[in-house]
Amino acid sequence: MIKPHGSEQLQPRFVYDAARNEALQKEAEGLPSLLLNSAAAANAVMLGAGYFNPLTGYMNRADALSVAANLHTTAGLFWPVPVVNLTHDASAIRGAKRIALRDPNVPGNPVLAIQDVEAIEEFTEAEISAMAEKIFRTLDPKHPGVSTFAGLGRTVVSGPIEVLNFSYFQQEFPDTFRTAVEIRNEIAERGWKTVVAFQTRNPMHRAHEELCKMAKEAVGGDGVLIHMLLGKLKAGDIPAHIRDAAIRKMVELYFPANTVMITGYGFDMLYAGPREAVLHAVFRQNCGCTHLIVGRDHAGVGSYYGAFDAQTVFDEEVPAGALEIQIFRADNTAFSKKLGKVVMMRDAPDHEADDFVQLSGTKVREMLAAGMDLPMEFARPEVARILMGYYQSEAAG
């Protein structure tokens, strides 16, 4: 199986030994505590699950600045975005060597992890702006990633962590949330050697379905990992439980048996376009995947990124050999009326725009909210019905 990023074996930060986990929970009761923001909590979950291998905890000021500027830590590890614990107020933990990190996303704010504090440092406003511009390629406050990052605080608490639970993800998504450890184990159990990962924060329409099948065939894959984001999204995005139901129905009816793993991961969407695409590649390698599908406007939002910037970043900013996972570069996919099937548009140079069935996201939402059937060429009817139920319930208030 493909090696994890940066190490021979996966090194998750979750405390699997039950006795030690219990002892740490008792210790946490007497430690100074810090209430995390959602971004820092998501980082803890990803560290615990092994997705952020080989990181052992939160980055310090120098590493965060270095990663933002040139995609490497000060020690030379390739990494695409800072993994930080930012806060507005560290007064309760000043001078502490060990602290309890509390979960902002679970009632009662239970302890999520314990951190060994190596440093408590301050970013300047200029440094926060410089990092944001590198990560998001914009400083527009209307960009959801920029606005979130700018509001996390200026104090950075660095050091290794031990993770005690996976926040709300295991309870709310017991059939879908999986750690990188669990995904690697299942890939090994299935005997898959070549595995294509498909990243999604949206329901999968007909074009996405066919793209997974095309990519699997093109690389001679044994299976597809459909890996959906389960964390915080921007307003207007479809909730995870609706996406989950729609994807499961599609796979049940339209994929050959035992060719797809449907899983999810506990992270908040960054909307960082190219940089986030590279992060997606890193943690899919940690899952054991050999290929990642990167398509049009991968991890993008609005018109902040060029249609294929998330592909060219792998040529322009990722050094040769930095990652073992390979990128499957997908073009726009759409149903061809001429050919009677979904194609990548670059493979149909003789087509005009009217030869394809394409709908904007806005148009799709309007049709579903109005109870209108989507074209069968665009969405499987069983999937469309699940989405229609959600949009009509939203419209009804």
Based on the residue annotation, tell me whether 202 is a catalytic residue of this protein.
Answer: yes
β-pairing, 119-122 vs 155-163, is: antiparallel
What letter represents residue 368's amino acid? Answer: L
The sign one gets for the Cα dihedral 16, 18, 20, 25 is: positive
Based on the residue annotation, tell me whether 201 is a catalytic residue of this protein.
Answer: yes
Q: Which of 202, 248, 296, 385 is catalytic?
A: 202
Q: What is the spatial distance between Cα 136 and Cα 132, in angstroms, rounded to a whole number?
A: 6
User: Which residue in the block uniquely carries the two structure tokens 């997606």?
Assistant: 280
Q: 368-377: long-range contacts (C-beta < 8 A, 24 or more apart)?
A: 368/392, 369/394, 369/395, 375/335, 376/206, 377/206, 377/335, 377/337, 377/342
User: Which residue in the block uniquely carries the two structure tokens 């740490």?
Assistant: 24
Residues 395, 369: contact at Cβ < 8 Å? yes
User: Which residue in the block uniquely carries the two structure tokens 């999968």?
Assistant: 204
Q: Which of 98, 154, 201, 248 is catalytic?
A: 201
Strands (E), 191-236: 195-200, 223-229
Active centre residues (catalytic): 201-202
